[in-house]
């Protein structure tokens, strides 16, 4: 019985990784054969058991190539647009989460549903990071997925505040000890006390603001 990957993998990425692993496997077979022919000390050291360490070495190298192909497949989605820049230069987890919610809200406004591959391209983020954030949002019942791997906004954008998004993906803005940070945390909470619908209104041109507000106020 075959098992599917833990998350969606584009066919082109899987094909590239498969070709890479196959080419490396063929090259390894050739080099490994030359190595065994040149170094005959295995028979002198291990005698009749010489084939056992050779088999273990071959098994280890095969698994290294298989895992390298899996890593390559998982990494390719970051090379679309600016996805590769997110970690160090292009935003935070909070910004990623807000952009995902904004993309889903705009898709809802247009009567569309977004496959995870379309969604990660819109926000220029890797598939694994997009999937992880979507799973966190699903637990809050903000988003839902279909059987075909498509995602929709599961509640009104008026009911999602930037503060709750921040506290979900970053850290709660409160303090359980007397650290002197209470006033600063309260300022941060006040600054983020904005709904997703209001954020979209502020970030969109006036021509589309009215339609976004209407879709945000209507339940899904």
Average pLDDT of the residues of the chain: 78
Q: What is the mean pLDDT of residues 63-69?
A: 89
In this structure, the answer to whether residues 65 and 94 fall within a common structural domain is no
pLDDT at res. 37:
73
Q: What is the mean pLDDT of residues 5-9?
A: 63
In this structure, the answer to whether residues 94 and 121 fall within a common structural domain is yes
Q: What is the mean pLDDT of residues 38-46?
A: 64
Taking Cα atoms as reference points, which of 73, 67, 65 lies closest to residue 128? 73
Contact 196, 161 (CB under 8 A): yes
In this structure, the answer to whether residues 205 and 110 fall within a common structural domain is yes
Taking Cα atoms as reference points, which of 16, 26, 86 lies closest to residue 61? 26
In this structure, the answer to whether residues 43 and 89 fall within a common structural domain is no
Q: What is the pLDDT of residues 136-172, one digit of tens each?
A: 999 999 999 887 778 999 999 999 999 999 999 988 8
In this structure, the answer to whether residues 92 and 139 fall within a common structural domain is yes
pLDDT surpasses 50 at 2: no
Taking Cα atoms as reference points, which of 201, 198, 210, 204 lies closest to residue 165? 198
Contact 113, 151 (CB under 8 A): yes
In a domain, 4, yes or no: no
pLDDT at res. 81:
57
Q: What is the mean pLDDT of residues 60-82?
A: 79
Q: What is the pLDDT of residues 173-199, one digit of tens each?
A: 876 666 677 788 888 888 888 999 999
In this structure, the answer to whether residues 26 and 90 fall within a common structural domain is no
Q: How many domains does the chain have?
A: 2
Residue 39 banded pLDDT, cuts 50, 70, 90: low
Domain-ending residue, one of 79, 109, 131: 79
**Measured distance CA(199)–CA(157) in Å, rounded:** 10
In a domain, 158, yes or no: yes
In a domain, 172, yes or no: yes
Secondary structure letter of residue 144 according to DSSP = E
In this structure, the answer to whether residues 110 and 33 fall within a common structural domain is no
In a domain, 2, yes or no: no
Q: What is the mean pLDDT of residues 12-27?
A: 85
As a whole number of Å, the end-to-end CA separation of the chain is: 38
């Amino acid at each position: 019985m075959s098992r599917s990957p833990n998350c969606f993998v584009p066919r082109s990425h899987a094909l590239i990784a498969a070709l890479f692993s196959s080419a490396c496997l063929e090259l390894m077979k050739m080099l490994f054969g030359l190595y065994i022919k040149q170094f005959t000390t295995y028979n002198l050291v291990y005698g009749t058991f010489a084939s056992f360490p050779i088999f273990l070495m071959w098994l280890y190298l095969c698994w290294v190539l298989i895992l390298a192909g899996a890593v390559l497949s998982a990494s390719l989605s970051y090379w679309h647009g600016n996805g590769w820049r997110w970690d160090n230069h292009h935003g935070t987890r909070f910004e990623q989460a807000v952009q995902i919610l904004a993309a889903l809200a705009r898709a809802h406004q247009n009567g569309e549903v977004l496959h995870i591959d379309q969604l990660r391209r819109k926000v220029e983020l890797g598939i694994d990071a997009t999937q992880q954030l979507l799973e966190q949002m699903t637990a809050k019942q903000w988003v839902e997925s279909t059987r075909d791997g498509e995602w929709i906004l599961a509640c009104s954008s008026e009911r999602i505040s930037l503060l709750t998004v921040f506290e979900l993906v970053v850290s709660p803005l409160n303090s359980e000890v007397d650290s002197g940070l209470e006033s600063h945390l309260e300022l941060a909470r006040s600054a983020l006390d904005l709904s997703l619908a209001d954020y979209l209104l502020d970030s969109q041109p006036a021509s589309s603001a009215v339609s976004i507000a209407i879709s945000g106020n209507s339940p899904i």
